[in-house]
Amino acid sequence: MQAYSSLFQILNQAIQEQQQSLDSSSPKEMYAPMNYIIGLGGKRVRPLLTLVGCDIFDCNPNDAIHAALAVELFHNFSLIHDDILDKAPLRRGNQTIHEKWGHNIALLSGDGMMVKAFEVLAHSNKNHITQLLQLFAKTGIEVCEGQQLDMNFETQDKVSVENYIHMITYKTAVLLGCSLQMGAICANASTKNQNHLYEFGKHVGIAFQILDDVLDVYADDEKFGKQVGGDIISNKKTFLLLDAFELANESQTKELNHLLYSTKISNQEKVKQVTDLYNTLGVKELAIKEANKHTDIALKHLEEIEANTIKKNNLKGFALQLLNREV
């Protein structure tokens, strides 16, 4: 987005310097995978939001650069470990680290990135460091709790939509809220403004994850960058699946359970037949409706923030652009 071109420039420069540091570190077997996943790019949404969270209060975004780097390192740590847990073959259209280097190196590199995140964050302004560390550590624990809940759901017979929303709030959404609030902390924003900015990011994150569930089933595989239908193959309790169970009649429920747990059906056929059931039950439309609800909540929090009006509108536009995904 053009409004954030200068912030992207600041961020990309800092990431390049971080990559140079990783590239010169030893042992190479541990640091090369870290450099690799950072180099795969992505939208850099979370670290960008940290700079935005500072800039929106007319403060120098460079004041939040260490927090932004910490967020980027932590996010990539979580991707490495998520891919291991999900047995995912692709990340951003490329081999995942455990596929390229093996399970053990992937684990160690992920651990190293998490520690690096805290090391980088510790270079922040000493007046902000305590609050930043407390928020960052709290968020890190919540992300791990969300991942564990996600894993638990795979073997639980009964999971409600409310359980699911709680899980994705921790696994995905709190890091977006944290990213923005860390920027606001670096800008010395009021507690009220920090909280509204956090809630804005959190609800955008919830909407984003629900739309990601939709994309996992309905995206163009060439554009998605991940294995389409991966959630269906791994029996993940997504918004789509939970709604399908709630709406299905007895016959459809039986068919859905058979598709999920049969060992005699290929992954390709499983994805096709489950998708056909989703289409019959209309769960794609319900998921999009739920995502829109959380988008509206996010925008109400944004309205309450006392900050530069133009920059608030830029953030609103960026969030809506982020959520306007090809579903």
In whole angstroms, how large is the CA radius of gyration of the chain?
20
pLDDT at 195: 98
Q: Kindly provide the residue ranges of all beta strands, DSSP E only, lying in the chain, ordered along the sequence.
A: 90-91, 94-95
Residues of the chain with pLDDT under 70: 1, 221-227, 325-327
Looking at the 3D structure of the chain, how many domains does it have?
1
CA 292 to chain centroid, in Å, comes to 18
pLDDT at 41: 81
Scored b (16 or more CB within 10 A) or e, 232-250 reads bbebbbbbbbbbbbebbee
pLDDT at 327: 43
Write the CB contacts of 82 (distance below 8 Å, at least 6 apart in sequence).
88, 147
Q: How far apart are CA 166 and CA 137, in angstroms?
A: 19
8 A C-beta contact, residue 205 and residue 223: no
pLDDT at 222: 58
**pLDDT 10s digits, 139-160:** 999 999 999 998 898 888 889 9
Provide the CATH number for the domain around residue 281.
Answer: 1.10.600.10
Segments forming the whole domain that contains residue 97: 2-323
